Amino acid sequence: MFKLSFISHSAQAMNLPDILEVLEQLAPLSLAEPWDNVGLLVEPSKPRLVQKILLTNDLTVSVMEEAEVMSCDLIISYHPPLFKPFKRLVQKDWKQQLAIRAVEAGIAIYSPHTALDSVKGGINDWLIGGVGSGSVSVLRQAVSSGPLCHKLEFTVRNHEELETVLSELGDRGTGVTFSAARPDSHAYSVRVSCCDSALTSVVQTLWQHSTPQQSLSILPVSKQPLLGCGVGRRGTLDEPISIETAVNRMKAHLGLKHLRLALGAQKTLESTVTTVAVCAGSGGSVLQGVTADLYITGEMSHHEVLDAVAAGTSVILTDHSNSERGFLSVLRERLSVHLDDSVSVQLSQKDRDPLEVM
């Protein structure tokens, strides 16, 4: 969906802003959830060319040590290591320690998180692709990040009042667009569009005239959907498979020996899977109420699993970061294509899910 433009690079390395531009094109930050903390989280005080990038799902103490040893210039951490606001930077908190170490070492930190989940071809599309090919739709559609617009409809008595009202709107510099029609000989029907920031000014102008004031109606205009982008995915497989086959495919796709499975009511390992819904990470709230034969996510609460099972939906849980980490290899390849050859992009060898099946 998003076309990458090529940037002229240094023969030795790249500036941080150039790399941030590539990251923005790969996963626009406007696609991130409102609650998320994405983008550049730590920026060195002195401009520094980037030669080594480390990709990790989580920035932990061991990953930071790995970054320091390799003289890393930029850490791209899928999960934002800095999330809650800090009132101080001290050594008592391990995340504050990481921020301090990054600043001292001159290492930049960037997180794409839910922007990478939402973008077309991102983590959720990769995750659902592990089950098999088919038609895929977005569970919660992303929309354009442009300003909210409004449509105002009202009537004026005659052509003279029409010209007066439109002239006053123009004098206020509201940047509105309009159309007018005269369905009968007594009045004009007027339709005005304006952005959210101009709405108050437009309404104040119209309320100075009795006929527009009495007939005024205000309607929000829906933002343009960003096709293929949004939260979660639901797919219909080209060829139905058994639950057992789905489990084995996901093990291979994620590189895992074990997965947790809850069979839906009256279902067995041989039961057919035609529809699948996925959400990387913690998907309980996103998948709740979605009609599908199988849910795939990192984690759900005990009661969320019980609700799904009672509805006849089977559930595969991978543990949180195991549903995401495998995409880092895909991200590495995409970055390598659009960065200078002298920039090294490496996958962390220390990054892993904190939970293990013994």
Q: Binding site residues for a divalent metal cation, as ranges?
A: 79, 117, 320, 324
Closest to 122 measured CA to CA, from 278, 16, 282, 309? 278
Q: Is 322 exposed, middle or buried (0-12, 13-18, 19+ CB in 10 A)?
A: buried
Cα dist. 211→51, 161, 168, 208 in Å? 66, 9, 15, 9
**What's the token pair of residue 101?**
């170490």
Residue 140, SS3?
strand
DSSP conformation letters of 239-304: EEEEHHHHHHHHHHHHT-S--EEEPPTT--TTSEEEEEEEEEEE-HHHHTT---SEEEEEE--HHH
Give the residue ranges of the annotated binding site: 79, 117, 320, 324
Q: Apex CA 28: angle with CA 72 and CA 175, to 5°?
A: 140
Report whether 124 contacts 279 (CB < 8 A).
Answer: yes
How far is Cα 135 from Cα 154, in angstroms, rounded to an integer?
A: 44
Torsion, CA 63, CA 68, CA 74, CA 75, rounded to 10: 10
Give the CA radius of gyration of the chain: 26
Cα dist. 283→11, 97, 260, 296 in Å? 43, 30, 15, 8
**What's the token pair of residue 68?**
């320091």
